[in-house]
Amino acid sequence: MTAQEESDEQDARTSGYEFYIMRHGIAVSRGSAGFSDDSKRPLTPEGKEKMRDICSGLKRMGFDVDWIVSSPLVRAAQTAEIVAESLGAHVPVDFCDHLSPGGSAEALIAFLAKRPNRKRVLVVGHEPDLSEMAARLLGAGRHANLAFKKGGCCLVAFDAFPPKSPGRLLWWLTPRLMRKLA
């Protein structure tokens, strides 16, 4: 990380709004026996283990949030729970239908804006919605190639929330890199 990036990240932590976006971990494959309902597909044992390692890497980077908001689908909810457990402190976890597949980014932002005292927020959801939301929040347009791998995470900083201008991408990390940081 360059000195300017470190300064930008410190600025985001002392003022403004930190918006972390994370895709759920590795889940049971779509259509697997016993999981015909997509909303009920859980994380696999490997997915849970990798998420714990990802969380260890995030913690080494100083990751800390005031609030976790997750899609209500089982795989995202389990991911959010693992993140909350890794922080050790009592971090509220709430569920928002706007993070379900096909949810509205604008409705999600309106939901988050109802808690203006929470300045460091992690949202956990699904592709392709997360990459489309990240691209729009960064002013990159809908067709930017910003795909999240399972367990991938980024940090977007805003001067104010709800955002009135594009955010600043402070980092975008693959699951593999976060696990290596652990």
Question: Which CATH number fits the domain that encloses residue 42?
Answer: 3.40.50.1240
Q: Which domain holds residue 45?
A: 17-26+35-181
Per-residue confidence (pLDDT) for residue 34, from 0 to 100: 81
Cβ distance 69 to 78 under 8 Å?
Answer: no
Q: What is the model's pTM?
A: 0.90
Q: pLDDT by residue (tens digit) across 18-64?
A: 999 999 999 999 888 888 888 999 999 999 999 999 999 999 999 99
Task: Give counts: helices (H), strands (E), the chain.
Answer: 6, 6
Cβ distance 179 to 50 under 8 Å?
Answer: yes
Q: Evaluate whether residue 3 is within a structural domain.
A: no
- Name the band, by pLDDT with cuts 50, 70 and 90, for residue 15: low
Angle between helices 45-60 and 74-87 (to 10 degrees): 40
Domain total of the chain: 1
Q: Evaluate whether residue 6 is within a structural domain.
A: no
Burial of residue 2, with CB atoms counted within 10 A of its CB: 0-12 exposed, 13-18 middle, 19 or more buried: exposed
Q: pLDDT by residue (tens digit) across 67-105?
A: 999 999 999 999 999 999 999 878 999 999 999 999 999
CB contact set of 182 (below 8 Å; sequence gap of 6+): 53, 54, 56, 57, 60
Alpha carbon distances (Å) from 19 to 15, 117, 165: 13, 13, 14
Per-residue confidence (pLDDT) for residue 6, from 0 to 100: 53
Cβ distance 65 to 121 under 8 Å?
Answer: yes
